[in-house]
Amino acid sequence: MTTLSMAPAQAPTLRANLPAAKGRAGFAGALRSEFTKISSLRSTMATLVGTMVVTIGLSTLVAWGVSSQLRSQLDHPTGTQPFDPSTFDAVQSSMFGLIFGQLVIAVIGAMVVTGEYGNGMIRTSLTAQPRRMVTLVAKFGVFTAVALVTGLISSFSSYFIGQRFYSGVGLNVGLGDPNVLRAVIGGGLMLAVAGLLAFGLGLILRHTAGAITSAVGVLFVSVILFQFIPSNWGQHIERWVPFFAGTAIWSRTVQDPSQMWSAWGEFGVFAGYAALAIAIGTFLFKKRDA
pLDDT tens string 37-66: 888 888 888 999 999 999 999 999 999 999
Given a cut of 50, is residue 14 above it in pLDDT? no
Q: What is the number of structural domains in the chain? A: 1
| Residue 16 falls inside a structural domain | no
Task: Judge contact between 158 and 95, C-beta under 8 A.
Answer: yes
What is the percent of the chain with per-residue pLDDT over 70, rounded to a whole number?
A: 87
Which residues have CB under 8 Å from 163's CB, separation 6+? 90, 94, 172, 173, 174
| Residue 9 falls inside a structural domain | no
- Computed over every residue of the chain, the mean pLDDT equals 86
Angstrom distance (rounded) from CA 187 to CA 197: 15
| Residue 43 falls inside a structural domain | yes
Query: Could you give the dihedral angle defined by the CA atoms of residues 203, 207, 211 and 214, in that order, rounded to the nearest 10 degrees?
Result: -120
List, for residues 147-156, the tens digit of each pLDDT value: 999 999 999 9
Question: Around Cβ 188, how many Cβ atoms within 10 Å?
Answer: 23
More confident residue, 128 or 226: 226
> What's residue 268's pLDDT?
96
* R_g (Cα) of the chain, nearest Å: 24
The residue range of the domain holding 43 is 27-67+87-287
* pTM, two decimal places: 0.86
| Residue 80 falls inside a structural domain | no
| Residue 15 falls inside a structural domain | no
Q: DSSP assignment, residue 238? A: G
| Residue 82 falls inside a structural domain | no
List, for residues 75-119, the tens digit of each pLDDT value: 776 655 666 777 889 999 999 999 999 999 999 999 999 988 888
Angstrom distance (rounded) from CA 1 to CA 120: 38
| Residue 97 falls inside a structural domain | yes
In order of 26, 170, 199, 213, 253, the CA distances from 135 in angstroms are: 10, 51, 14, 25, 40
Q: What are phi and psi of 78, to 5 degrees?
A: -135, 165
Given a cut of 60, is residue 267 above it in pLDDT? yes
Given a cut of 70, is residue 15 above it in pLDDT? no
Residue 240: what residue type?
Answer: W
> What's residue 285's pLDDT?
92
- Overall average pLDDT of the 130-157 stretch: 94
CA 254 to chain centre: 22
| Residue 245 falls inside a structural domain | yes
Confidence class for position 290, pLDDT limits 50, 70, 90: low
List, for residues 220-260, the tens digit of each pLDDT value: 998 998 888 887 787 788 889 999 999 999 998 877 777 78
Long-range CB contacts (< 8 A, 24+ apart) of 17-21? none
Question: Around Cβ 147, how many Cβ atoms within 10 Å?
Answer: 26
In order of 141, 144, 147, 186, the CA distances from 47 in angstroms are: 19, 15, 11, 21
